[in-house]
Structures are given as structure tokens and as C-alpha cells.
Amino acid sequence: MKCIIFCLIAVFSLQAIAGNTEREELSNYLRELNKIDRIFLAAKNNSLQGSSSRFKYKVFEKDLARLKQELQTYLDLPKRSPRALKKVTHPINVESR
């Protein structure tokens, strides 16, 4: 359990320091979440069934899966570049007096 929390903190701290673009950072987060998923499964398998442990493995597993799915959905969207601004000229009606 402590290992999982440490990994989460380390991953997000290191990624925040890096100067990458948003998509690169999110892609890195997804890769790290996949690593955390494997660590989590090992911890879950090593937990004693019926023990007095109160960690909610199913809740954590569901939350982790949803986070990974949302990140993947966002990353699968086509890249959108900002559209170029068109120069708009408005005729000015100036009446001479």
C-alpha cells in the first residue's frame, strides 16, 4: 500500500517538473499508470484474503481503470491545431460634412 502511494507521488512529481507538452505529459502519465496497475495487482494478489485490511482494492481498481480510460480517450482524439485568424476589415462609413 505504501509502495503504491509512493509510486503515485513520485510519478506525478517527476512529470510535473518535465517541460513537455500536454499530450506528451498525459501520455507519460498513462504509461506510468500502467506500471502502477501492475504494482497494484501484485499487492492485491499478496494481500491476505479475509484479513482485517481495510484497503478497498475494488474501488481503487475501478478508479485506476477509469482514469486510464479517460486519458486514453483524450489521447486518441485527433490533434487539433488552432485555426488561423483571418484579418477582417470592416468598411468605415464616413460621411463628409
Digitized pLDDT (tens) for each residue of the chain, 97 residues in all:
666 666 666 666 655 555 458 888 889 999 999 999 999 888 888 887 666 667 888 889 999 999 999 999 988 888 766 556 666 665 665 555 5
Q: Residue 47 CB: number of other CB atoms within 10 A?
A: 13
Amino acid letter, 19: G
The SS3 assignment for 4 reads helix
Q: Where are the domains of the chain?
A: 2-76
What's the confidence (pLDDT) of residue 82? 56
d(CA 11, CA 14): 5
State the first-to-last Cα distance of the chain, in angstroms, to the nearest integer.
Answer: 83
